[in-house]
Copies of this chain bind each other. A is one copy, B any other.
């Protein structure tokens, strides 16, 4: 925790404060409970059956409804912000995100990050910091692990550059490395009328595209309530007084809020893809603001059996979210660049039950 000279206020780390191999334990641990699950439901309208109904969860093999994967992710992520990205210019990307253990109401999550990459930019004003962050539960078990890299300001432009270190990251999480957060599923008990879809793993074809149809408009109160629920303190989301004078003239919506909205929209077409097992990569292509309406579509970019498991299969899904533009024609590129309304390009592995 770096301090300003005159006070006890945390000013966040600058580029030259990071050291390769350093482990950072983050404040504040957080117990997730049924109230958090209700709020998450009310913020996104998510309807995946195991997370919605204890009866459904138990019928297929969970001890109770798990906490939504992205709620757990946002909470683990939020803790890293004061130490890693308070002085970030940009959140550049994330990769190799694996959901390792289920999270249940009552579990307490804490976060720790290891600095695995440092590279000063040629302008000498900023550098790219890469961290591998891990969320642990109250038993010290890792529940989520992921890598992200951010561009961080230097405090002192003349500070010497560290030796450049750029970690090698997988283009996608290997199938052998996913699924441990999903207990054995009783696929015969996976009731398609209750879950909202008859489609099983085998029903999704490589290259299949799904327009999720619905649109959802975002309000300032909603994204701020969500982002505070995650104890994410990044200033750009909350402070209109400063953001009004900034680049966009308004508060920026947390990228994870966009991911959760897109995931909730994807229920319409992917209702049985009930568990996010890994996030291969994500790119926040453009900012989303209050008043914008989010739409989404998905493509099945890979399908894979899981080693040793006959209960579920893995769908690698690329979900594209747009603002103020329906996705019936699957917008993505305009020449080299993204289509102007695209805001999110997300690549993840989800599990769906196999046919009985």
Contact = CB atoms under 8 A, between A and B. Distances in A.
For A27, A48, A221, A268, the residue with the greatest tally of chain B CB atoms inside 10 Å of its CB is A27
A238 B261 CA distance: 12
A25 B239 contact: no
Contacts of A295: 241
Contacts of A227: 45
Contacts of A25: 193-194
Interface stretch (A31-39, A118-126, A161-169, A276-284): A31-39
A7 B211 contact: yes
B35 A33 contact: yes
Number of copies: 3
Given A42-B225, A54-B108, A49 B35 contact: no
Interface string A212-256: 111111011110111111010101001111100000000100000
Given A217-B240, A229-B42, A268 B35 contact: no
B9 A268 contact: yes
Interface of A: 1, 7-11, 25-31, 33-39, 41-45, 47-49, 52-56, 65, 82, 106, 108, 110, 138, 193-199, 203-204, 208-217, 219-222, 224-229, 231, 233, 235, 238-242, 251, 268-271, 291, 293, 295, 324-326
8 A-B pairs closest in CB distance? A35-B38, A27-B196, A45-B228, A35-B35, A29-B53, A241-B293, A221-B221, A42-B229
